[in-house]
Copies of this chain bind each other. A is one copy, B any other.
Amino acid sequence: MDLKNYFEERLSRVDRLLDACLPKEDTLPASLHKAMRYSVFAGGKRIRPILMIAACEAVGGDVAKVLPAACAMEMVHAYSLIHDDLPAMDDDDFRRGRPTNHRVFGEANAILAGDALLTEAFILLSNPESNRGVPAETLLRVIHLIGRCAGSLGMVAGQVVDMESEGTEVDLPTLEYIHTHKTGALILASIQTGALLGGGSEAALAALTRYGEASGLAFQLTDDILDVVGDQEVLGKDVGSDLARGKATYVALLGLEGARLRARELRDLAVAALAPLGEGAEPLRRIAHYIVDRSS
């Protein structure tokens, strides 16, 4: 199968629905809606929507039923990047080769655009027209899952501990805590949401949870590796920026080769977890490889 075509077909559906759901740029207040769209359509990899769709298909589900949740997840992701980049947080000027949201729209608008994107995710998840054919109980379960993974015991917890750890000696358990929360939680939630909306069995959900935990961590390991050896042009951000800022990384703790080895081990664990799912999980298998082999 052609992973590129698979990605592109599904991504264009995600992008079309995101465009249809988000208020237009000239909807009042225009500055707010411009800021929201700026970050949602910033050339992100859309790895979370893709994982959600692939998980849905792996359990034999209908892509149409997972698209709104895939878009909601991307809104949550976009909100988290806007807030992480703020001067009070990571103070980043560039992301994906473009000025960060607050550099273009100002700090207040960036905070509010993030707030509004997070809220918009739940508006979309609870929209009966967008989610036609999905039982209300399933939608509630998805809202609860995404909320918990994004909230004070999930993604936000990861960001707090990440910031608290800056400039300190971080051990491996703390680094794993940061990543399983900061990035892993939403990746796992994406995969579990795909399984839920695809109507997968509890056994399939358990297999996909193992896949999600391993591939989420592999994703972060690869990010850390790329921060050291990546191509600045391809990455769209400064290489070595984690190091310069005294951030703990897997490369710092395990060495470059150690980090590569661990990323490959996790990839193999993720692929092995898919065994019970058969042929329909082929895209997820390919994505696990892509996560570790990518160059940006």
Stretch at the interface among A46-54, A108-116, A252-260, A281-289: A108-116
Interchain CB contact under 8 A, A32 and B89: no
When the two chains form the complex, which single residue of B27, B123, B141, B151 contacts A148, counting CB atoms closer than 8 Å?
B123
Chain B residues near A267 (CB-CB < 8 A): none
Stretch at the interface among A157-165, A224-232, A238-246: A157-165
- The number of chain A residues with a CB under 8 A from chain B is 52
| Nearest CB in chain B to that of A33: its residue | B152
Asked whether A60 is an interface residue with its Cβ less than 8 Å from the other chain, the reply is: no
Interchain CB contact under 8 A, B29 and A160: yes
| Nearest CB in chain B to that of A31: its residue | B160
Oligomeric state, in copies: 2
Asked whether A150 is an interface residue with its Cβ less than 8 Å from the other chain, the reply is: yes
When the two chains form the complex, which single residue of B107, B115, B126 contacts A144, counting CB atoms closer than 8 Å?
B126
Query: Whole-angstrom distance between the alpha carbons of A161 and B108 in the complex?
Result: 12
**Least CB distance, A109 to chain B, in whole angstroms:** 7
Given that A119-B147, A147-B122, A151-B119 are known contacts, is A111 also in contact with B140, CB under 8 Å in the complex?
Answer: no
Beta-carbon contacts under 8 Å, A28-50 to B: 28-29, 31-33, 36
Query: Whole-angstrom distance between the alpha carbons of A6 and B152 in the complex?
Result: 33
Beta-carbon contacts under 8 Å, A92-143 to B: 106-109, 111-112, 114-116, 118-120, 122-123, 125-128, 135-137, 139-141, 143
Query: Whole-angstrom distance between the alpha carbons of A109 and B83 in the complex?
Result: 11
When the two chains form the complex, which single residue of B86, B119, B122, B161 contacts A156, counting CB atoms closer than 8 Å?
B119
Query: Whole-angstrom distance between the alpha carbons of A89 and B112 in the complex?
Result: 10
Interchain CB contact under 8 A, A32 and B136: no
**Least CB distance, A234 to chain B, in whole angstroms:** 30
Given that A136-B140, A164-B31 are known contacts, is A89 also in contact with B116, CB under 8 Å in the complex?
Answer: no
Query: Whole-angstrom distance between the alpha carbons of A86 and B108 in the complex?
Result: 9
**Least CB distance, A100 to chain B, in whole angstroms:** 14
Question: Known pairs A116-B152, A116-B156. 13 more at Cβ < 8 A?
Answer: A29-B160, A86-B108, A89-B108, A111-B111, A112-B159, A112-B160, A115-B118, A120-B151, A123-B151, A126-B144, A128-B144, A136-B137, A140-B140
